[in-house]
Chain A
Amino acid sequence: MITKRSLYYWVKTSDLKLQSLLLFIIAISIATRVFPLEMQKRIVNLAIGLGKVDLLFLYCGLYLAAVVVTGGLKFAINILQTKLGQETLARIRKELYDHILTLPLGFFRKASAGMIVSSLVTEVVAAGELVGQAVAVPLNNVLTLVAFAAYMFYLNPILAALSFVIYPFILFSIPAMQRRANEANKARVDATRLISGKIGETISGIHEVHSNAGYRIENRRFGEMVDQLLKIRITWNIYRNAIKVMNNLFQNMGPFVLFIVGGYLAIHGRFDLGALVAFLSAYEKLYDPWKELLEFYQIYQDAKVSYKRLMEYFDIAPEFALEPHERPPHLMTGSIQVKDLYFSPGGGIHLLKQINLDLKPGEHLALVGASGSGKSTLALCIAQLQKYTSGSVKVDGKEVSDLTKRDIAENMGMVAQSPYIFDGTIKENLRYSCEALIEGESGTSESKRELPTLDEMIQVIQQVGLFVDVLRFGLSTMLPSDRDDELAAKIVRIRRRFQDEFGESLAESVEFLDEENYLYHASVATNLCYGTPNQEDFKKERLHDSAYFLDFLESVQLRALLLELGRELAIQFVDVLEHLPPEEILFEQSPIAANEIDEYRDLVPMLEGHAAHQLSEEAQSKLLRLALRFSPGIHTMVALSDDLEKRILAARMLFIQKIQQELPGAFSFYLSSDYIHSQTILSNILYGKPRTDHPNALERINQSIIHLLIEEDLLERIVELGMEFKVGTRGDRLSGGQRQKLAIARTLLKDPPIVILDEATAALDNASQKRIQNLVETQWRARTTVIAVVHRLDIIRGYDKIAVMKAGKILEMGSYDDLIARKGMLYELIHGTKAGLL
């Protein structure tokens, strides 16, 4: 297991070819490093001393060459080190992640996501980098040291011995200080982990933070942790730097000894000057490798501490084997026997007591009981998501705890109480279970599964009642303008049929685009321009500042009127909105956006007693922005006068003409024969705006559109687009019901012999719940073993067996009719005085 490996293991298993190459380069580079010293000596003694210019050139040339080669080799060493280090880092990350994913669920109840992120992203870095350096750095520097030292002994043994006197002191004092630094480092790792955990938790719970306005609490807690970390980091760095300073100090004492003794010897002629210069250079050269050795030592110590901490944290064995050994995964029929099952999370509590169950393949069992009675726990034990304490759970006669994860995945499908939907598309989420099985099979001979086809996916989303939702997502997509002209053309055809066939009956629900008529559910800007801008300065957030557009408004005498409208809007809406917190949902019915309210509140007092054209340019721009957004059908607080309506309509015609003459292409004007790429497919079919956001009306419109899509054979194409809908992190862009339906659909696609549903329909409305129940009773009848934790008693009649649980025990079990006839717990729950308490 990865967590048992020492740092040394990663060195051993790193790319050995690279490591040997590295050693080879190091050996050469050491020679090229000592070489200049010898040249130095010869330059002084032979070339300068004897006054030979040709020797001077020769030695200098050799010196230069040696320095350049050393530089090049050093670079090569660095590259190799980086490669080794980064590769090891990637290896540790992958293998550790692999291990983490298989840890028992209990582990994740304690560990937070943030902590794991910080472990995998930051804490392993030190270990990886160390491995890159582990061979090269110590070896390189020790050898360099030895080479220089040998050279120094060769020059003058006594001086050499003297200059090495200090090192034993250094070797003794540094580890003592490093131990303290390690203590601090350990504390730092822990504190960093806590902080990461905290951040992760806060961000996942951001809904709760916002709804309670808990920013202060969160910030205070975070602040406390950060301060704690601050202290630890300062201590840690002080120790690290103290080591460096001390080392420097010792090192700098070296030349002192040399000057005194060497100088004395030189004055008395017992030591030539060239040798003294070379000796001093050699001593200086000792400094770098020694410093690097020390740095390596520190990196090694830090890496050792974080690595140990890291591995200790994840040092838990997976509870179950992952892959079957030398056999294909079992294919089961789905019989389940539970015998004397106990589960205790520790501390003497039993969450499950003496559970006995027997299900034949295809039998359906409903688990009922008050919340907290252990239903989910039982489901988890059967699904191998929770390791039971004693007793046995057998599937097809095989003990569940002896089965591998693969066996379970092949044979069981589980829909959890609050299923997890991954960030990605609907399609990716639908195929998740199947894809996992296929990936599991890859590399083995039994690859026989295939990814579900579009038809199969459409079938399951229909079965769970998600079809219309997905269709709606499809209808809300925008087609990219450079693709799929054929689809666009078909949609325009549907648009025409929609107008012909439903135009009249839906006239009350939809406001159709019409060159001659004012659109009450569209903005003044849309009504004026009647098209999609293709030029930046005509986009709706910039239009009110476009000089061209302002000139146009002036020329049709609309500018003053619109400023007046803007002023009325500002006054009326600020009057009401200033009492509200700036939340977007509260500003839906206003032309002022939530983040703009302060701006307009400050503006309103200036509006009193001034005509609009007397205001500053900035104020006028703000008013015009508001006026251009105004949609009388949505912003009902202000009415649109007949006069203004007529003028805008007249201006529209002039604007279209003007643009066509002066700036052709600046707008794509709405034409009933053109696809509008800036709008959704739905808007393109409607070719207008719904007059309401009430679900009933939208439903009626949808029905008509679906009808046409079927006739034009486009339904599947649109659903396919809808499957690409991005569901957001944790499926946040789906409703709770949609998430549950998606999870059920996922299991349906996988079609395993055993299905476990844990309140899988709790978030669904009545109709959807009935639909799913119906599905369970038909699709899975006598074919799939079903264990369903059921939260509503009116859907349990269809089950072969019903088990009533209380405080971790099954109190009674039998068919619905038997249990009712017995007038026991179930009868009491349904008919008794305690009915409704479930």
Chain B
Amino acid sequence: MSSSTEPKQGSCEYKDNLEIVMHIPIFVGLPLEPLKVLTYFCKRATFFPGDILVHEQEMDPNAYFIISGTVALTLDSSPENIILEFGEMDFLGALSLFCTRKRLFTLKAKTKATCLILPRDKFQKTLEQFPEIGRQIFEALAKSICRWEARLITEHALGCPECRAAIGPTVV
């Protein structure tokens, strides 16, 4: 794993990153100043197949945006069963930006994958400097969780009585 692209004339990694950060769903519509600060804090990293991004049960203080490649979500109890796959343009770990929790899943690179990594402590510092963006980000986050559950309900729970017991996180 390494920072992927060496800086080349005309292209500047920071500008590309800013472009990406602006379009991350929970950051869409934020003023430019905080976006620039957030981008400044982002680092690129490349993972090779089999590299573990996040260990189940361990604190992971980062959020990840996948620039290229695929990563897989698994549980340690059954590492072969891939629960979900994420690829280009996916943003993972938004919740870890807000609170320290042990991760419930393991995240592993399936192909060579390049990610943009945003650390929580630095995100929190940004929030402190621009408190007004917190509300906006939180709203976007809540919406995406609701959307997810809505999909769960329509796709699974209606046709599967056992699954019904498992839904309901948005009631929190």
Contact = CB atoms under 8 A, between A and B. Distances in A.
A138 interface: no
Interface size class of A (residues with CB under 8 A): 20 to 34
B40 A576 contact: yes
Contacts of A633: 3, 6-7
A637 B37 CA distance: 11
Contact of A643 (B7, B9, B125): B9
Given A509-B2, A691-B2, A637 B7 contact: no
A762 interface: no
B17 interface: yes
Given A636-B7, A637-B14, A639-B9, A766 B57 contact: yes
- Point out which of B46, B52, B130 has the most chain A C-beta atoms below 10 A from its C-beta: B46
Interface stretch (A444-452, A470-478, A547-555, A578-586): A578-586
A694 B122 contact: no
Given A575-B36, A638-B14, A765-B58, A696 B7 contact: no
Given A508-B2, A580-B129, A766-B55, A636 B36 contact: no
A520 B7 CA distance: 8
A697 B2 contact: yes
B2 A586 contact: no
A589 B40 contact: yes
B158 interface: no
A696 B14 contact: no
Interface string A298-335: 00000000000000000000000000000000000000
Interface string A678-720: 0000000000000111101100100000000000000000000
Given A580-B37, A636-B17, A691-B3, A585 B11 contact: no
- Point out which of B3, B6, B17, B45 has the most chain A C-beta atoms below 10 A from its C-beta: B3
Contacts of A576: 36-37, 40
Given A639-B7, A639-B8, A643-B9, A696 B37 contact: no
A642 interface: yes
A673 interface: no
Contacts of B128: 581
A640 interface: yes
B51 interface: yes
Interface string B28-52: 0000011011001101111100011
A577 B125 CA distance: 12
B159 to A, nearest CB: 29
A453 interface: no
B1 interface: yes
A581 B129 contact: yes
Interface residues of B, number: 36
B83 interface: no
A691 B1 CA distance: 9
Contacts of A589: 40-41, 43
B1 A692 contact: yes
B125 A581 contact: yes
B1 A636 contact: no
A692 B3 contact: yes
B1 A700 contact: yes
B139 interface: no
Interface in A744-775: 765-766
Contact of A632 (B7, B36, B46, B55): B7
A579 B125 CA distance: 10
B13 interface: yes
A833 interface: no
A566 to B, nearest CB: 17
Interface in A762-790: 765-766
A445 to B, nearest CB: 52
Contacts of B58: 765-766
A641 interface: yes
B83 to A, nearest CB: 19
Contacts of B36: 575-576
Contacts of B40: 576-577, 589-590, 637
B114 to A, nearest CB: 11
B140 to A, nearest CB: 21
A589 B34 CA distance: 16
Interface in B109-145: 117, 121-122, 125, 128-130
B143 to A, nearest CB: 27
A579 B130 contact: yes
B108 to A, nearest CB: 11
Nearest to A697: B1
B12 interface: yes
A578 to B, nearest CB: 10
A642 B9 contact: yes
A640 B7 contact: yes
A641 B47 CA distance: 27
15 contacts: A579-B129, A585-B122, A586-B125, A589-B43, A632-B6, A633-B3, A633-B7, A636-B13, A637-B40, A640-B7, A691-B2, A692-B45, A694-B45, A700-B1, A765-B57
Given A633-B6, A637-B14, 12 more contacts: A520-B6, A572-B14, A579-B37, A579-B130, A632-B7, A639-B7, A692-B1, A694-B1, A697-B1, A700-B1, A766-B55, A766-B57
8 A-B pairs closest in CB distance = A639-B12, A637-B14, A636-B13, A642-B9, A691-B2, A632-B7, A508-B2, A697-B1
Interface of B: 1-3, 6-14, 17, 33-34, 36-37, 40-41, 43-47, 51-52, 55, 57-58, 117, 121-122, 125, 128-130
